[in-house]
Amino acid sequence: MNVLLVDDSKAMRLIVRRALREAGFAGHEFVEAGSGAEALTAIASKQPDLVISDWNMPEMLGIDLLTRLRSQGSKVRFGFVTSEGSVEMRTQAHDAGAEFFITKPFSPEDLDKALRPILGGAP
């Protein structure tokens, strides 16, 4: 399975990737994007099965990325790993089609719980 990690922080993308490996998802292919605009390009070219995105990024918020994808007819599975987690944000994400919403700091177990139904076990 091809997973796109979207976060403006390279360090956070590495942390998410490491936590995914620790949660048992090491066998999947990971692609990274540093912004929503980069993510749109990566989604068009790499056609990921899942997008894991930060919410707060310059140029384009993660929620704007998700709503743009949905308005273009994309059905790519999508979820958030972000530092804020208000009820309003969670509701907005759910209503836009996000399948999960994980707040930072998170553990490999948090990722496992959210992603096991989507990714299954290690390939």
Domain spans of the chain, in order of start: 2-115
* Tally of CB atoms within 10 A around 9: 12
Q: How far apart are CA 84 and CA 96, in angstroms?
A: 17
Q: Which CATH architecture fits 2-115?
A: 3-Layer(aba) Sandwich (3.40)
pLDDT attached to residue 112: 92
pLDDT attached to residue 123: 44
Q: How far apart are CA 58 and CA 43, in angstroms?
A: 18
Phi then psi for residue 106, to 5 deg, are: -135, 165
Q: Could you read off the pLDDT tens digit of each residue along the chain, which spans 123 residues?
A: 899 999 999 999 999 999 999 998 888 899 999 999 999 999 999 999 999 999 999 889 999 999 999 999 999 999 999 999 899 999 999 999 999 999 999 999 999 999 988 877 544
